[in-house]
Chain A
Amino acid sequence: MKTLPALATVRDWLDEIEDPEIPALSITDLGIVRDVRYVDDVLEVALTPTYAGCPATQVIRDDVERTLRARGVDRLRITERLAPAWTSEWLSVRGRERLHEYGIAPPHAAAEAGLALGPIASAIVRCPRCASGETREQSRFGSTPCKALYRCDACGEPFEYFKPH
């Protein structure tokens, strides 16, 4: 009988898979790998979507399948776990550093969005290029569901902010 790869090894393999929309992040940085375990000799990987309609979800699922099969995992089941819902709190510390280096401001603490009117009160979003706090929200929606559009008044550059969610 074939020896099954250790779960720690499987996690290392998963950590090599890039997020298709923000390749600076691995899928484990993003916090969407919720569980890796064996059920008998079947490897089960539980993934959670960031946003319900994020088109990257299917691509990630395919990437996980392809990566693990290439490593010789032939008994594999990938499941979708919706609860608890993904939150940007699950981004790893390394993931936050990588976002910053990539030019995307990492998210502040995610508060319950609630029903309050007006702009979402949050800590100062620093420009990832010049570190100024003189920044403005241009749009709460950006090029992907997880990002908002900001502009730095100090250096004049637009940038993206990974939304606290």
Chain B
Amino acid sequence: MSELYAWLGGKPLFLWTDMLIWLLVAVIVLGVSYTRRRPHLLEPWHRVAKSRLAMGSLVVLLVYVVIGLLDSLHYRPALEQSDQSEEVHYAVEALTALDWMVGGLRESGEKSYSAPLATHLYVREMVGESGGEVRRDYPRLKSGGAHLQNPQQRAADLVENSIVGGAKGLLLWLGIALLLVLLLTRKRQQISPRRWVVEVARGETATPWRTILLVTAVVSLLLMAAIQVGVKYHILGTDKVGQDVFYQAVKSIRTGLVIGTLTTLIMLPFAILLGIMAGYFRGWIDDMIQYTYTTLNSIPGVLLIAAAILMIHVYIDTNAALFETTEERADLRLLFLCIILGVTSWTGLCRLLRGETLKLREMDYITAAHAFGVKNIRIIIRHILPNVMHVVLISVVLDFSGLVLAEAVLSYVGVGVDPTMYSWGNMINGARLEMAREPVVWWTLLASFLFMFTMVLAANLFSDVVREAFDPRVHKGE
């Protein structure tokens, strides 16, 4: 095994959140394959698939998810061997597959602030002239446009790089489009690829492929152009300690996704189990469960989170020896944050499920099952659970964006993710005073705003359509 790692040049690091994320991916894949074979479960998804809004935002979300997943494969790179010993040492700092792919961004550190796409630092420093003279000036950046002989060529170089990047993006998009045409026309033999392309261009297909392809085009152009330019410049500038802001914003995606999804994954079993039990069995079981969630609910969420996170901090600080890498420590804090957010947010779903179960248990088909002497556990699994799943799904999708936003606020309050972890909340927290600075440093805030806003907006738009598609009240007649 260790030879393999040595050969690969790194040793995989299994973080808790990574494993849970991939577990979630597995659950979703299983769920999809289960649903595919059941037309009545697929029905509401068909409604979602027909919405232009939903499919457009889904493309954006998928880009975020792919980045987040790539960022969830951690490894510790092997260190250069200094002595002759056989043993290979691995770095304390862990990297991810994403880092490996965009390595250039990570390593290009500067000394301090630099504006987006700048060639010089934003602050004056003592610069040593060739003649031994020292004066205060804006020094050239180490990697921002460092390849330019003359900073004056910057504009032309930027245009050129954007065009090259755009062209690459176009190629990527064409590739995707071609693949789509092949896959889709192959599945349905009766339609010729040519005909299909015409239909898509006119927007006549049932699934809004035109919208999907348009959004894909925009995203791939932006992405490739950003990569092309980003290798040579700091497209969103650098922060106080000279770190590339674009890289930070991209790395924060994983944090946002983890909080938005794992929180629900963690709380879901409790909410479902307790909610259904309270509604189904009623009596003292109901009283106990209601008491539990009223009590938890009565503590204002932020305060409960704050109190719990503070305690975790103290625990981690006093037991620092338990963690091998900083990532592991930060990861544990992230996991605890998810758990505590879950504890404070399961009550809503639990109450909803209790209400829904109370209604369902009076349905005739449950009575019929009782008349057959079917056991309670079987009634819950076969009759109640499948009929409350739409409530669960709607609430999971709706919660996602709220949780992403909550991360920012909690990090600001000081009870969010580990300060060493990349997150939009940490970025905002670190940069909030920069607006008051003269001259203003605005790019860190802009970057976190853009990245977070895009994801939350896409999630909100998508969840709206999902809720409408699954809400039985909207589709009573069908």
- A complexed with B: no
